[in-house]
Structures are given as structure tokens and as C-alpha cells.
């Protein structure tokens, strides 16, 4: 109730636009109407309505339109786009932050990340994704921090400004992992994307027989694979198939 920016000043045009936006809330038409009427809004009205629309509904709408609107050079962005509690949380961020995203299938562009790994895994489950990706982001490249959906969400308009760190696999409850013994099954090979520079000298770069991605094969793995009943697969393929995995401790 009291989490309102002191930039707020009542304005008749802002009030009229807000009334119509409430009618369109939760639909892709809301952001289109906002874009049409935005020129006459006060600076506070522009930023506050934009953040409210994003938090209430951002699905099935034009990402480039959102990027254009968030990228406006109107004054008062920080204290009007974010609520006071969000500004405070933003100010407490370090110079670099770790963020995560559960990518949709064939996703090529995005602007939203979460600071909470568990939230990213929840989105992965909802989107049918096998993993989430971890990124390192400079605070100065973050447009806003939103806490309103309890998602610890940050907006970064240019994905070229984020640095990919690693991929985290969402392990299914149906998957069983047990120590290897000489009978039959799969040995799990760690992905190069997870371990770019291994310390083990005996590891050799190979390709997953299933997906073709680069992964590491150890001397022990090579010995195991001499057994004709044993096969190999990268970590992702092993978990995706839900097979019973037998392997070394790779600390992945």
C-alpha cells in the first residue's frame, strides 16, 4: 500500500489511460494500447504503467515492442519503473550478478532472467525444458528488478551483454543413479559445456553417440566401454531418456 514512488503525481490523461488499461489487463492488447497512447503520458505514468503491464502479462506479445518501450530515454526510469522496495533491492546488488533462465524450445531472443535458481527450475518444469542456464551479468546492464511476482526477475534488454557460465540439468525424480558395476547399461560422460577445462589429464574429447555434443571420456570410461554390454551417453541424453545411469563421480 505504501510502496509507491514519490514521483507519483495525479494526472487526468494518465488516469484516463489507466482506466482503459485495466479493461485490457491480462491480454496482449494492453501493451499495444499503451504504445499508442504513451506519448501523452507523464514520465511517471509511462514507466509505472509499463512495469505494471509487464508484470501482469507479457506472454504472446511482441518482444521487440517491449524492448523499444523499456529502452526509452524518458527521465525518471529507475524510480518510476521500479517500486521503492525494488529500487532498494536493486541498489543492494553487487557489481556483477548471477542470473538464470529456463529457455523455451527454439528460443532466439529474450530479456527476462531470475536471480533465483529454484524459480528457474520451476519454469523449466512448466516449459518442458531439461535444463536451465546460468549467466553472469553486470549490474549496469540491468534495466529493472521486479519482485512483484516473487520471481526475483531482472530485465536485460541486450542478451549480448550477458555472459553464459554453465548449464544446470533438471534431474527427473524417475532417474536412478548408482555406482557402476560390470553388467550392462550406460556410462555418463560429462559435457564440455559444463566442464570447459578439465583437470584430469586422461580425459579425451569425444562426441555423444546420441546428440553429437562434445563431452569428455576418461580412461576409466574407456575401460568400461570395452564391455560390449556397456554404452555411453552425455549427461543430458542420459537424463533426458530417464535411463539408469552408471558412472564415475565427475563433480558436474
List, for residues 167-181, the tens digit of each pLDDT value.
Answer: 998 765 555 555 555
Share of the chain above pLDDT 70, in %: 88
Give just the sign of the alpha carbon dihedral 219, 221, 227, 228: negative
Residue 118 and residue 131 in one domain: yes
Q: Burial, 233: exposed, middle or buried (Cβ in 10 Å; 0-12, 13-18, 19+)? A: buried
**Helices 29-37 and 43-56, axial angle in degrees (round to 10):** 170
Residue 88 and residue 160 in one domain: yes
List, for residues 196-222, the tens digit of each pLDDT value.
Answer: 888 788 899 999 988 888 999 998 888
- Return the closest-CA partner of residue 101 out of 83, 120, 82, 85: 120
Looking from the CA of 86 toward its CB, the CA atoms found within 13 Å total 26
Residue 152 and residue 192 in one domain: no
Q: Is 6 inside any structural domain?
A: no
| Average pLDDT of the residues of the chain | 87
**What is the number of structural domains in the chain?**
3
Predicted confidence band at 249 (pLDDT cuts at 50, 70, 90)?
Answer: very low
Residue 75 and residue 113 in one domain: no
Residue 164 and residue 138 in one domain: yes
Q: Which of 37, 52, 80 is the last residue of a domain?
A: 80
Predicted pLDDT of residue 248: 41
Boundaries of domain holding 55? 12-80
Predicted pLDDT of residue 119: 95
Residue 100 and residue 154 in one domain: yes
> Which residues, at least 6 apart from 212, have a Cβ–Cβ distance to it below 8 Å?
none
Distance CA 51, CA 54 (A): 5
List, for residues 113-161, the tens digit of each pLDDT value.
Answer: 999 999 999 999 999 898 999 999 999 999 999 999 889 999 999 999 9
Q: Which of 48, 80, 112 is the last residue of a domain?
A: 80
Q: Is 3 inside any structural domain?
A: no
Amino acid at each position: 500500500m505504501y510502496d509507491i514512488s514519490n514521483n507519483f503525481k495525479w494526472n487526468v490523461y494518465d488516469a484516463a489511460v489507466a482506466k482503459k488499461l485495466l479493461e485490457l489487463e491480462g491480454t496482449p492488447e494492453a501493451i499495444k494500447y499503451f504504445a499508442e497512447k504513451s506519448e501523452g503520458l507523464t514520465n511517471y505514468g509511462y514507466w509505472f504503467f509499463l512495469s505494471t503491464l509487464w508484470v501482469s502479462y507479457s506472454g504472446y506479445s511482441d518482444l521487440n515492442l517491449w524492448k523499444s518501450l523499456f529502452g526509452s530515454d524518458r527521465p525518471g526510469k529507475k524510480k518510476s519503473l521500479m517500486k521503492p522496495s525494488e529500487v532498494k533491492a536493486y541498489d543492494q546488488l553487487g557489481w556483477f550478478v548471477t542470473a538464470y533462465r529456463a529457455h523455451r524450445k527454439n528460443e532466439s531472443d529474450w530479456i527476462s532472467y531470475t536471480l533465483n535458481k529454484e524459480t528457474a527450475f520451476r519454469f523449466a518444469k512448466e516449459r518442458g525444458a531439461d535444463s536451465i542456464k546460468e549467466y553472469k551479468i553486470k549490474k549496469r546492464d540491468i534495466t529493472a528488478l521486479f519482485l512483484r511476482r516473487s520471481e526475483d526477475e531482472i530485465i536485460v534488454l541486450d542478451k549480448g551483454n550477458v555472459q553464459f557460465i554453465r548449464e544446470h540439468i533438471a534431474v527427473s525424480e524417475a532417474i536412478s543413479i548408482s555406482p557402476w558395476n560390470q553388467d550392462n547399461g550406460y556410462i555418463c560422460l560429462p559435457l564440455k559445456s559444463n566442464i570447459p577445462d578439465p583437470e584430469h589429464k586422461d580425459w579425451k574429447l569425444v562426441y555423444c553417440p546420441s546428440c553429437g555434443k562434445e563431452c569428455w571420456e576418461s580412461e576409466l570410461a574407456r575401460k568400461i566401454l570395452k564391455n560390449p554390454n556397456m554404452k555411453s551417453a552425455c549427461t543430458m541424453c542420459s537424463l533426458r531418456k530417464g535411463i539408469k545411469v552408471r558412472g564415475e563421480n565427475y563433480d558436474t
